[in-house]
């Protein structure tokens, strides 16, 4: 009971430090990722339970469809509108895209908040939306506040755990970028195949026309010579 905790940091083994890293990092890595398609002229909603006074964070992005735009609305448990914005993701700057799809606010009520993605302005194009909601608490570390006495190593570990939330967001956006580039590559590959098939048909048609024309020309010359 009388052991000084500052001495424990000096004898911390590498395995213990590694276990501590995972213990501190796990809350920051917990997140809920959902990808779904919003059909044209419809509005799809999901629900997330938030406690009063807690910060709500969400990242979303339109991965495919039209101009990569969609309208997002967030309602409180009482039905009041918290967020109502039109988001556009057809930009070249990745930082602006991340800022466009990041939403944060402090909940004034406890209960289920309704998150809606409105695609009613689109007549024909469906939108594929990918959203990420962190479920773990990356900041604060109230449960491990006493570990600050263990030395600068643990302080560095806590900072790493705090930054893991940003890493998760970046991975989410990079996964969407990869999916968009893959769709572009597949579309381009399909167009190349169709163009190659059309080109082959044109070459075959031109060859047949030339053969028919040359045969007709030779036949007419032969008939003229026979008459003479």
Segment 56-92, tens digit of pLDDT: 999 998 988 888 899 999 999 999 999 999 999 888 7
**Ramachandran angles phi, psi of 141, nearest 5°:** 55, 45
| CA–CA dist 177, 194 (Å, integer) | 26
Cβ proximity of 101 and 61 under 8 Å = yes
**The length of the chain, given as a count of residues:** 228
What number of H helices and E strands is found in the chain?
4, 8
Q: Smallest Cα–Cα separation from 76: which of 56, 91, 94, 96?
A: 56
Its pTM surpasses 0.85:
no
Look at 5-14, 41-50, 65-74, 76-85 and tell me which has the smallest mean pLDDT.
5-14
Q: Which two tokens stand for residue 141?
A: 């570390």
| CA–CA dist 5, 7 (Å, integer) | 5
| CA–CA dist 12, 26 (Å, integer) | 20
**Ramachandran angles phi, psi of 72, nearest 5°:** -115, 135
Mean pLDDT of all residues in 199-208: 90
């Amino acid at each position: 009971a009388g052991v000084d905790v500052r001495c424990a940091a000096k004898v911390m083994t590498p395995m213990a430090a590694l276990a501590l890293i995972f213990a501190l990092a796990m809350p920051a890595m917990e997140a809920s990722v959902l990808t779904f398609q919003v059909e044209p002229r419809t509005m799809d909603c999901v629900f997330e339970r938030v406690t009063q006074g807690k910060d709500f964070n969400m990242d979303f992005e339109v991965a495919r469809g039209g101009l990569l735009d969609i309208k997002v609305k967030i309602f409180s448990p009482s039905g009041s509108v918290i967020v109502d914005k039109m988001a556009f993701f057809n930009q070249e700057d990745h930082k602006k895209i991340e800022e466009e799809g990041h939403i944060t606010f402090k909940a004034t009520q406890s209960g289920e908040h309704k998150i809606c993605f409105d695609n009613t302005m689109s007549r024909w194009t469906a939108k594929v939306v990918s959203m990420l909601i962190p479920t773990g608490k990356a900041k604060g570390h109230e449960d491990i506040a006493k570990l600050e006495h263990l030395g600068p190593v643990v302080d560095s570990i806590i900072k790493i755990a705090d930054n893991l939330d940003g890493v998760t967001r970046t991975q989410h956006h990079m996964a969407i970028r990869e999916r968009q580039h893959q769709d572009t590559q597949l579309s381009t590959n399909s167009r190349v195949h169709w163009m190659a098939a059309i080109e082959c048909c044109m070459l075959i048609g031109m060859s047949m026309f030339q053969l028919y024309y040359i045969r007709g020309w030779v036949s007419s010359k032969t008939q003229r010579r026979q008459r003479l």
